[in-house]
């Protein structure tokens, strides 16, 4: 009787899903606001690069010097771009999943070349944010670049030293509308955290009544929005928060909306949509397929797709996501039947893989579960 009641509750939720109140949309918009603010500030900075007409009491010579300094800073940022891209490529080669012991001498030569080119740029550069980041990177390479025959651990320590300084350079270059890619390095602790967290959320969604799940998701969402606000207002608080989550955070998240915030926002949306079956399947797809695709793509990926993804990684995402969604449907919703289960799992896995490949401005920790759930919901509704 208990199983029948639980099944009835799930069926009732599937027939009449709850729609989040309008305030949910407003709060979700706050997550992306820092990105829009940065875009607007970049446009304002670009506008400030043009000389302003002299105003009463303003020194024309001072304005000219200011314009000249800005022009020199932008020229330095532009000259830095190709060297920064070379450093990005070298850091990818330093990734634990890609590191090739037979190419240490080649990698050492590449990094030494980056160091020398940074040093040459600094010789004629004024002291500004870009120059400071270049100096920090050059110093790390000068002091920590190991001998080609050094142990693997020393190369990984070099990578750990370079990554934060590289991301700081990315931000400084972006202020001059010069773009170089951020890093998403292999992080095995983060991968394990992804899997364990996904399994916990699946259990929560399937075993706890949906009204309670909504309250939990709402509280978690309010908390991460509060933490993001604190990070924006206080650099010190940002440093403390990022240190607490340092083991599972990417270096670029120090300067952007945290991936965990996007993930909790996705859970919030799924909870208010009210279907335990598709919500749990979508979380399982993200939690298991995304880290699996990342590991396979970095280690074995050869066929390049969009935005740094590989065919091998995307294929792994589909296979693992398909299996994860089937496991959720069969374990908690056997009443769906095999044909509906297979169709819904395939829709969730394929949609999640497409979302992962196309996500750029919106973090894939949000886009994957939301789009995977929408696809599975559509298939299960039709069938």
Report the share of the chain in percent with pLDDT over 90: 62
- How far is it, in rounded angstroms, from Cα 348 to Cα 325? 7
- Report residue 74's pLDDT band, with 50, 70 and 90 as the boundaries: confident
Has residue 321 got a pLDDT over 50?
yes
32: left (phi over 0), alpha (psi -120 to 50) or beta: alpha
For 164-215, write each residue's pLDDT tens digit: 999 999 999 998 899 999 988 888 999 999 999 999 999 999 999 999 999 9
CA separation for the pair 39, 36 (Å, rounded)? 5
pLDDT value at 291 more than 80: yes
Token reading at 9: 């509750």
Average pLDDT over residues 24-35: 48
Residue 48 is predicted with a pLDDT of: 44
Q: Residue 66 contacts by C-beta under 8 Å, 6 or more apart in sequence?
A: none
Confidence band, pLDDT 50/70/90 cuts, at residue 269: very high
User: pLDDT-derived band of residue 347, with 50, 70 and 90 as boundaries?
Assistant: very high
Domains of the chain: 2-37+186-382 (no CATH), 62-174 (1.20.120)
Which pLDDT score, from 0 to 100, does residue 64 have? Answer: 55
Report pLDDT digits (tens) over 294-314.
Answer: 999 988 888 888 877 899 999
Q: Is the pLDDT of residue 37 over 60?
A: no
């Amino acid at each position: 009787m208990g199983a029948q009641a639980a099944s009835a509750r799930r069926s009732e939720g599937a027939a009449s899903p709850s729609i989040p109140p309008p305030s949910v949309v407003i709060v979700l918009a706050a997550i992306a606001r820092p990105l829009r603010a940065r875009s607007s500030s970049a446009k304002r900075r670009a506008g400030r690069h043009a000389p302003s007409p002299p105003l009463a009491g303003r020194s024309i010579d001072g304005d000219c010097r200011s314009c000249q300094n800005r022009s020199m800073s932008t020229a330095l940022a532009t000259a830095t771009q190709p060297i920064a891209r070379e450093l990005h490529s070298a850091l990818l080669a330093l990734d634990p999943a890609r590191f090739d012991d037979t190419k240490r001498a080649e990698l050492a030569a590449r990094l030494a070349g980056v160091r020398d080119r940074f040093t040459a740029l600094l010789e004629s550069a004024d002291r500004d944010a870009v120059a400071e980041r270049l100096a920090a990177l050059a110093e790390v390479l000068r002091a920590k670049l190991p001998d080609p025959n050094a142990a693997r651990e020393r190369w990984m320590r070099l990578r750990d030293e370079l990554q934060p300084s590289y991301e700081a350079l990315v931000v400084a270059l972006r202020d001059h509308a010069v773009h170089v890619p951020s890093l998403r390095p292999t992080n095995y602790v983060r991968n394990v955290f992804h899997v364990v967290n996904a399994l916990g959320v699946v259990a929560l969604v399937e075993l706890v009544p949906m009204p309670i799940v909504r309250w939990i998701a709402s509280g978690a969402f309010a908390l991460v929005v509060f933490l993001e606000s604190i990070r924006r207002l206080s650099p010190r608080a940002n440093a403390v928060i990022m240190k607490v989550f340092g083991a599972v955070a990417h270096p670029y998240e120090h300067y952007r909306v945290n991936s965990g915030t996007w993930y909790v926002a996705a859970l919030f949306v799924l909870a208010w949509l009210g279907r335990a079956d598709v919500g749990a399947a979508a979380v399982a797809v993200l939690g298991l397929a995304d880290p699996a695709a990342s590991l396979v793509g970095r280690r074995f990926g050869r066929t390049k797709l969009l935005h740094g993804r590989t065919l091998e990684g995307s294929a792994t995402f589909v296979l693992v996501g398909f299996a994860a969604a089937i496991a959720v449907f069969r374990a908690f919703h056997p009443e769906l039947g095999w044909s509906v289960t297979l169709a819904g799992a395939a829709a969730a896995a394929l949609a999640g893989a497409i979302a992962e490949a196309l996500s750029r401005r919106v973090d894939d920790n949000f886009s994957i579960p939301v789009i995977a759930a929408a696809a599975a919901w559509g298939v299960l509704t039709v069938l």
